[in-house]
């Protein structure tokens, strides 16, 4: 696509004194476009990289850096409109699934209970899987002014999303969702209580079975996911209004306000060293999990997602906690320091976490430091990985990971801007 290559040339000129940044950007920015996007009659299917399935979350994040280029690049615009159409059909197939097959092959994790639809790769319910398609659709509309891909299936999917969200506000009473993976599998692949999850108290928050890492929640109100939901429901309300459905817009707006109020009431705790900060998970019963995970939505990513300002005092305290050894998934080594995840080996740092630390920084030097750390830890591949050991970047997981490549490209463009880039529509 001509706009992508033009942007690569622009970055090459801007980083003429740092050729490694430009060379890495030239590999990362077009990576998903060249290797992962598969146009077809039902829309654009997006594989996550080395896994031949389409995650709702990953797909939206992988194409996000292309949105500003869409208006002047019709072929790219049509590809991204196809992603919106594909995601709408996937949500209508199963709004509780997180990942899908390109065809009804039944590929994925055999034996998961209850049985999956053959189009579903994996049926781990993750709240952010309902949010990312809204984020992509809203961003597409903001950049192009084009509402056509949002009519029909997308509007129907939006109604299904709202239905699921309302149901999962009272999961224990109303939801039929279960998940169980039999056999010798990690504990994080299963939910307790026969696949029901831990008990929660209704409080306005939305229940989630799994985190954005695809690991089971410890407490099932995932706070960053609810932050994202509050933002995307406001975006959904705006889209519904543009699509001449004021009643749907009002329901979206009201639910978003309810979630935001519940976060501030039930997910803020007082830490003896860091002060008032956001918990990562809660159960609405007074229990909290204090940590952060590199996968987005994360607590670190709250300003990037548009939930609050990077200068917000509670966010600043949360950020200090997340980027410190007090966070059990913060790691430091000779080549890098940042947020990791229990999803990968202990002590690993995630490029997604490093990129997010840069994207949410209020200081230009901090953004630049995050960029330098990423460029120097690709183990010579000039591509981002899922995670790596901070004392040995050649020890890494996932050689081909489109989401991380896209976030690296976003960070490069943020470093070129005088201020952190605002989220479109936030």
Decide: 106 and 77 in contact? Cβ < 8 Å: no
Q: Which two tokens stand for residue 206?
A: 């939305």
Domain membership flag for residue 9:
yes
How many CA atoms, within 13 angstroms, populate the side-chain half-sphere of residue 90? 33
Q: What is the pLDDT of residue 133?
A: 98
Domain coverage including residue 347? 1-34+329-418
Section 32-37 average pLDDT: 96
Q: What is the pLDDT of residue 378?
A: 98
Q: What is the pLDDT of residue 380?
A: 96
Domain membership flag for residue 187:
no
Residue 180 β-bridge partners:
113
**ω into 297 cis (within 30 of 0):** yes
Domain membership flag for residue 355:
yes
Angstrom distance (rounded) from CA 109 to CA 292:
27
In order of 10, 58, 172, 201, the CA distances from 65 in angstroms are 15, 12, 38, 38
Domain membership flag for residue 398:
yes
Secondary structure class of 290 (helix, strand, coil) = coil
* Alpha helices per DSSP H over 325-422: 351-359, 364-375, 402-416
Section 268-288 average pLDDT: 98
Q: What is the pLDDT of residue 422?
A: 39
Domain membership flag for residue 369:
yes
Angle, vertex CA 98, rays to CA 95 and CA 99, nearest 5: 115
Angle, vertex CA 302, rays to CA 396 and CA 255, nearest 5: 125
Is the dihedral angle over the CA atoms 104, 109, 114, 120 positive or is it negative? Answer: negative
- Counting the structural domains of the chain, the total is 1
For residue 37, how far is the Cα from the chain centroid? 18
Which tens digit of pLDDT belongs to each residue from 344-353?
Answer: 999 999 999 9
| Structure confidence at residue 419 as a pLDDT band (50, 70, 90) | low
Decide: 181 and 215 in contact? Cβ < 8 Å: no
Task: Note the pTM of the prediction, 2 decimals.
Answer: 0.96
- Residue 87: count of CB within 10 angstroms of its CB: 27
Domain membership flag for residue 66:
no
Decide: 191 and 209 in contact? Cβ < 8 Å: yes
Per-residue pLDDT at 87 exceeds 80: yes
Which tens digit of pLDDT belongs to each residue from 110-124?
Answer: 899 999 999 999 999
Percent of the chain clearing pLDDT 90 (strictly above): 95
Domain membership flag for residue 378:
yes
Domain membership flag for residue 148:
no
């Amino acid at each position: 696509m001509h706009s992508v290559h033009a942007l690569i040339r622009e970055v090459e000129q801007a980083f003429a004194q740092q050729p490694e940044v430009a060379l890495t950007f030239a590999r990362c920015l077009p990576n998903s476009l060249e290797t992962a996007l598969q146009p077809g009659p039902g829309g654009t299917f997006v594989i996550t990289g080395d896994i031949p399935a389409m995650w709702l979350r990953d797909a939206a994040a992988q194409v996000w850096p292309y949105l500003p280029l869409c208006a002047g690049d019709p072929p790219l615009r049509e590809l991204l409109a196809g992603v919106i159409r594909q995601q709408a059909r996937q949500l209508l197939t199963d709004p509780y699934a997180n990942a899908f097959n390109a065809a009804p092959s039944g590929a994925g994790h055999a034996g998961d209970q209850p049985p999956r639809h053959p189009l579903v790769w994996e049926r781990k319910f993750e709240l952010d899987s309902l949010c990312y398609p809204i984020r992509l659709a809203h961003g597409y509309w903001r950049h192009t002014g084009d509402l056509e891909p949002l009519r029909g299936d997308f509007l129907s999917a939006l109604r299904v999303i709202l239905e699921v969200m309302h149901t999962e506000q009272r999961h224990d009473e109303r939801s039929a969702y279960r998940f169980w993976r039999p056999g010798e599998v990690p504990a994080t692949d299963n939910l307790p209580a026969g696949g029901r999850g831990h008990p929660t108290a209704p409080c306005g928050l939305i229940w989630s079975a799994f985190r954005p890492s695809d690991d089971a929640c410890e407490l099932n109100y995932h706070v960053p996911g609810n932050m994202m939901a509050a933002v995307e429901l406001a975006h959904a309300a705006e889209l519904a209004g543009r699509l001449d459905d004021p009643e749907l817009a009002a329901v979206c707006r009201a639910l978003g306000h309810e979630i935001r109020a519940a976060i501030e009431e039930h997910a803020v705790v007082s830490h003896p060293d860091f002060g008032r900060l956001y918990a990562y998970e809660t159960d609405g019963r007074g229990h909290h999990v204090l940590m952060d995970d590199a996968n987005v939505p994360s607590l670190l990513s709250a300003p990037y997602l548009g939930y609050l300002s990077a200068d917000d005092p509670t966010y600043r305290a949360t950020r200090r906690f997340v980027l410190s050894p007090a966070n059990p998934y913060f790691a430091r080594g000779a080549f890098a320091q940042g947020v990791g995840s229990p999803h990968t080996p202990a002590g690993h740092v995630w490029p997604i976490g490093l990129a997010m630390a840069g994207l949410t920084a209020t200081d230009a030097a901090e953004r630049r430091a995050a960029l330098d750390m990423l460029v120097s830890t690709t183990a010579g591949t000039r591509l981002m990985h899922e995670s790596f050991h901070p004392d040995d970047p050649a020890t890494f997981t996932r050689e081909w990971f489109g989401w991380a490549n896209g976030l690296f490209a976003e960070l490069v463009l943020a470093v070129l801007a005088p201020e952190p880039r605002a989220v479109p529509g936030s």
